[in-house]
Amino acid sequence: MGEGSIVVGDSVAPAPWPRRALGGLLGVLTAPPAALYLVLAGALLGPLLPWPRIGPRARAALQGGAVRLAAVERARRAVWFGDRFPVHYRAEDRELLRYLARRTGVGLVAGLVLGLIGFGAVLVVLLAAGALRGTLSVADLFGQVLLGGVLLFLAVQGLASLADLDARLARDCFGPSEAELLRHRIAELADSRAAVLHAVDAERRRIERDLHDGVQQRLVALRLLLGRARRGGDPQRTDELLRQAHREAAEVLTELREVAWRVFPSALDTLGLDEALAGLAERCPIPLRVHCPREAGTLPQPVLTAAYFVVSECVTNAAKHSAANTVEVVVGRDGARLTVRVEDDGRGGADPAGGGLSGLRGRVAALDGTLHVHSPAGGPTVVTAELPCG
C-alpha cells in the first residue's frame, strides 16, 4: 500500500474453517459474561453517571471494563480469524460500548441457533430410533426429514450471516469505518492529483528552461554563423563559417533529441523498458548498471512510464548532486507488483521532500504505488518504488 494507508480487518492468509469455527464458538462463550457485565454495570453505575462528583469515576469504571472485554474480542478475532487491525487506532469509549452491546447480541443469538441445531440433532436420533422400531410411517418420516432439512438450512444460513456481522462489527470498531476509509481514500486521491499536477508543471518548466537555455541559444548562434557566412566575401572564411554552422546544427539536433527523450523516450513504446533503460545508461555521464528482465515490457504503459521516470530522475540527481561514481538499477516483478530499486554510492543526504523526489512520489502515488527514499549522510542513497501491475 501507499504511505499512510490503512489496513482494516484483513487477513494475512485465510484461516482454515475449523479454526474459524472454534473462534466462532469462543465468541458464543464470551457473549454471556459480556452481557452480564453490561447489565450489572449499567444497573450499578448508570444511576451515578449524571452526578458531577461521582459521575466521572463511574464512567471511567464502566469504560474500563468495556475496554478489557473489547480487547478480549479483538484478540479472539486476531488469533482465530487472522484479522489484522491498525495498531495505533483506538475507537472512542462510546463506540466500544456500542460494539460490545452489538457483539454480545450477535453471540447470544448465535448460541441460540447452535442450541436449536443441537436440539434438532437430538430429534434426529429419536426419529432414527422410531424408524428402526417401525413406529413411524413412510409419510411421517419423509415429512420430518423434509422439515428438518429446511430448518437446518435456515440455521446454517443464519450462522453464516451472524459470522459476517461479527466480522463487520469488529472492522468498524477496531479500525476505521467504511465512511472513514472512503474519506481517507478521497484525501489520498486529492493529494496524488495535486502532486501529479505539480510534477507536470515542474516538468514543463524544466522543458522550457532546457529549450530556452540550450536549444534556443544554439539556434541563435547558428543563425549568426549563417548570417556571417552569407555576408562574407572571403570564400575561405565563408567555408570555415559553414563548417562551424554544420557542427552547431549537429549539436542542436543532438540536444533537441535529448530534450525529446527527457519528455518521453520513444524506445519505451517500441522496444520496452529494458531497452529504454539501456539507452539511458548510454547517455548517463557516470557508469550505470541496469538489471531489468525483458518480461517487464509486458506491463501496462502507465507503469512502464512511471518506472522509467523514477530511474531517470534518480540517475539525474545522482549525476548532478551526489558525486556518485556508480549507479545500479534493479527492476523486478513479484506477482502483481513491479519493484524499481536505484542505488548510488554518492554522499547521500537526499531530501525526500525535494522537488524531483516529491514529483516522483506524486507520479507513483497516482498509480497507488509507494516510493521510499533512504539517504543517510555519507550515503548510499537507495530509492525504491513499488508499482501495482494490475
Compute φ and ψ for 387, nearest 5 degrees.
Answer: -120, 130
Q: Are residues 157 and 46 in the same domain?
A: yes
Residue 336 DSSP class: T
Three-class secondary structure of residue 332 per DSSP: strand
Residue 85 lies in a domain: yes
| Residue 214 CB neighbours (<10 A) | 16
List, in sequence order, the alpha helices (H) in 134-234.
138-174, 178-210, 216-231
Residue 4 lies in a domain: no
Please tell me the distance from the alpha carbon of residue 343 to that of residue 347, in angstroms, as a whole number.
12
Asked if residues 374 and 381 have their Cβ atoms less than 8 Å apart, the reply is yes
Rounded mean pLDDT of 126-144?
79
Query: Considering only CA atoms, which of 179, 320, 271 is closest in space to residue 187?
Result: 179
Domain tally, the chain: 3
Q: Among 176, 202, 233, give the residue marking a domain's end.
A: 176
Higher pLDDT, 67 or 260: 67
Mean pLDDT, the chain, integer: 80
pLDDT class of 258 with cuts at 50, 70, 90 = low
User: What CATH number corresponds to the domain at position 324?
Assistant: 3.30.565.10
Please tell me whether residues 195 and 165 are part of one structural domain: no
- Does 169 share its domain with 197? no
The residue type of 358 is: S
pLDDT exceeds 80 at position 7: no
Contacts of 221 (CB under 8 A, 6+ apart): 248
Q: Exposed e or buried b for every residue in 299-324, given b needs 16+ CB within 10 A?
A: beeebbbbbbbbbbbbbebbbebbeb
Whole-number Å distance between alpha carbons of 119 and 232: 113
Residue 88 lies in a domain: yes
Find cell 469515576 and name the residue: 57
The 10s digit of each residue's pLDDT in 262-289 is 666 666 767 778 888 888 888 788 888 8
* Calpha distance 362→355 (Å, rounded): 11
Question: In this predicted model, what pLDDT tens digit does every residue of 166-205 receive, in sequence order?
Answer: 988 988 888 765 666 677 777 777 776 666 666 666 666 7
pTM of the predicted model as reported, rounded to 2 decimal places: 0.50
Tell me how far apart the terminal alpha carbons of the chain are, to the nearest angstrom.
13
With respect to residue 325, please indicate whether it lies within any of the assigned structural domains: yes
Check whether residue 280 and residue 255 sit in a common domain: no
Q: Note whether 169 and 279 are same-domain residues.
A: no
Structural domain contains residue 330: yes
Domain span at residue 334? 269-388
**Measured between alpha carbons, how far is 280 from 262 in angstroms, rounded to an integer?**
10
Q: Is pLDDT above 50 for 5?
A: no
In a domain, 1, yes or no: no
Same domain, 55 and 69: yes
Residue with grid cell 517487464, as numbered in its chain = 296
User: Do residues 70 and 139 both lie within one domain?
Assistant: yes
Helices 55-81 and 138-174, axial angle in degrees (round to 10): 120
State pLDDT tens for residues 54-80. 888 888 888 888 889 988 998 898 888
Q: Are residues 24 and 84 in the same domain?
A: yes
pLDDT, one tens digit per residue, over 18-42 is: 888 899 899 999 999 999 999 998 8
Residues 171 and 196 in one domain: no
Which residues are bridge partners to 381 per DSSP?
344
Which distant-in-sequence residues (6+ apart) come within 8 Å of 249 by Cβ?
222
Residue 241's H or E segment, with its range, is: helix 235-263
Residue that terminates a domain, selected from 263, 297, 322: 263
Instruction: Take residue 237 and report the three cell numbers written for it.
Output: 572564411
Residue 183 covered by a domain: no
What is the structure's pLDDT at 2? Answer: 37
Identify whether residues 169 and 32 lie together within a single domain: yes
Same domain, 105 and 61: yes
Residue 95: alpha-carbon gap to chain centroid: 27
Q: Please give the Cα distance from 205 to 378 (Å, whole number).
A: 31
Mean pLDDT for the stretch of residues 315-338: 83
Do 69 and 3 contact (CB within 8 A), yes or no? no
Domain boundary among 210, 244, 263: 263
- Whether 12 has a pLDDT exceeding 50, the answer reads no
If asked whether residues 277 and 208 sit together in one domain, one would say no
The reply to whether 2 falls in a domain is no
Looking at the DSSP bridge assignments, the partners of residue 340 are 331, 385
* Residue 325: pLDDT over 50: yes
Of the pLDDT bands very low, low, confident and very high (cuts 50, 70, 90), residue 11 is very low
Residue for grid cell 523514477: 310
